């Protein structure tokens, strides 16, 4: 069967070569269009910085991997480089924000399983979820200063209500027959909540957190761009003033690669911890 007849068939099963070609086709088109545009712009202006050439990008990447974070620092090497120090700074904020999502999962579970807890928190969380996190950024800077805590709190405020409500809804979706069966077999309230409900919904919670990784980075970047002395977003904002596209582009690709690796790690972890789980 040819490719075109197979294109609109529901039961089509492309072979390995076709699948590999299709999966990389848009990447190849995007890269080709970029370098075609860069070549045309550099023919007109060899010093063009808006669409840097491959040589300029390579030079920018080399600088970010070898040059120190500060102009006053004469040290060299990868572990003193801009890219390393910025990555470590952003990774610490990202890691703290992800750890603070654990209490959010537990709160959502308890809201679903214990009616008194649900009545106490649910209406407030529903209202809090509608507050635009970036609108409270000035309040966070006033209340917590411009140090690390305000950036981490911005991420928590932006993502935590979603995780709480996702956990709440997933817990409520567990068939009540399973909960009754747990009590019948002698389990207590916390046993049912953690051994039956949480264990059953945990793979979907991990997927929910994984799908919110981009939102976590969005709020992290917002905080770093507005008030920070280091970090990936801080560097991008700083280089923007100098039209440093040859370093900005590697930074953007580096952030995308890091998020892809975190996403891949979470998918592999989910598969390892819950081999029984299959997406609906």
Instruction: Summarize pLDDT for 66-87 with one digit per residue, the tens.
Output: 887 665 555 566 778 889 999 9
Nearest to 229 by CA among 93, 138, 65, 50: 93
Q: Using CA atoms, how far apart are residues 178 and 200, in angstroms rounded to an integer?
A: 11
The reported pLDDT for the residue numbered 79 is 77
Q: Are 40 and 226 in contact (CB under 8 A)?
A: no
pTM: 0.86
The per-residue pLDDT for range 114-127, each reduced to its tens digit, is 999 999 999 999 99
Q: Using CA atoms, how far apart are residues 74 and 119, in angstroms rounded to an integer?
A: 59
Q: Using CA atoms, how far apart are residues 206 and 204, in angstroms rounded to an integer?
A: 5
Mean pLDDT of the chain: 88
Q: Using CA atoms, how far apart are residues 100 and 110, in angstroms rounded to an integer?
A: 16
- The mean pLDDT value for 162-180 works out to 94
The reported pLDDT for the residue numbered 11 is 76
Q: What are phi and psi of 123, to 5 degrees?
A: -60, -40
Q: Is the pLDDT of residue 105 over 90?
A: yes
- CATH 1.10.3720.10 at 78-273, yes or no: yes
The reported pLDDT for the residue numbered 227 is 76
DSSP secondary structure letter of residue 68:
B
The reported pLDDT for the residue numbered 8 is 73
Share of the chain above pLDDT 90, in %: 56
The reported pLDDT for the residue numbered 120 is 96
CA distances from residue 162 to 144, 152, 216, 238 in whole angstroms, order as listed: 23, 16, 11, 32
Pull the structure tokens for residue 21. Answer: 């070609």
DSSP states along 10-37? TT----HHHHHHHHHHHHHHHHHHHHHH
Q: Using CA atoms, how far apart are residues 266 and 280, in angstroms rounded to an integer?
A: 18
Q: How confident is the model at residue 255 (pLDDT cuts 50, 70, 90)?
A: very high
Least trusted range by pLDDT, from 163-167, 180-184, 262-266: 180-184
DSSP secondary structure letter of residue 70:
S
Pull the structure tokens for residue 258. Answer: 């890091």
Least trusted range by pLDDT, from 1-15, 94-108, 211-225, 244-258: 1-15
Least trusted range by pLDDT, from 54-63, 65-74, 153-162, 197-206: 65-74
Place of tokens 């507050």: 131
The reported pLDDT for the residue numbered 123 is 95
Nearest to 273 by CA among 182, 178, 201, 177: 201
- The mean pLDDT value for 88-101 works out to 92
Q: Is the pLDDT of residue 149 over 70?
A: yes
Q: Is the pLDDT of residue 277 over 90?
A: no
Q: Using CA atoms, how far apart are residues 225 and 137, in angstroms rounded to an integer?
A: 12
What are the structural domain ranges in the chain?
A: 14-48, 78-273
């Amino acid at each position: 069967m040819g490719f075109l007849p197979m294109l609109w068939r529901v039961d089509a099963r492309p072979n390995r070569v076709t699948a590999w070609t299709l999966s990389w086709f848009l990447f190849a088109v995007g890269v080709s269009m970029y370098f075609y545009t860069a070549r045309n712009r550099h023919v007109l202006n060899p010093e063009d910085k808006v669409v840097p050439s491959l040589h300029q990008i390579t030079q920018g990447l080399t600088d970010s991997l070898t040059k120190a974070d500060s102009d006053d620092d004469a040290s060299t090497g990868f572990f003193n480089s801009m890219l390393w120090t910025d990555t470590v700074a952003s990774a610490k904020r990202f890691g703290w924000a992800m750890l603070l999502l654990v209490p959010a999962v537990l709160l959502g579970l308890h809201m679903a399983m214990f009616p008194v807890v649900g009545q106490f928190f649910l209406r407030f969380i529903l209202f809090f979820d509608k507050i635009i996190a970036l609108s409270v950024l000035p309040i966070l800077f006033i209340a917590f200063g411009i140090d690390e805590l305000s950036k981490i709190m911005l991420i928590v405020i932006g993502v935590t209500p979603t995780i709480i409500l996702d956990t709440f809804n997933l817990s409520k979706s567990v068939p009540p027959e399973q909960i009754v069966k747990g009590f019948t077999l002698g389990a207590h309230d916390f046993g049912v909540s953690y051994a039956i409900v949480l264990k059953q919904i945990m793979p979907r919670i991990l997927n929910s957190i994984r799908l919110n990784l981009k939102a976590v980075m969005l709020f992290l970047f917002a905080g770093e761009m507005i008030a920070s002395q280091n970090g990936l977003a801080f560097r991008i904002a700083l280089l923007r003033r100098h039209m440093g596209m040859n370093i900005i582009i590697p930074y953007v690709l580096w952030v995308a690669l890091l998020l892809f690796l975190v996403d891949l790690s979470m998918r592999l972890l989910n598969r390892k911890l819950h081999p029984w789980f299959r997406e609906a």
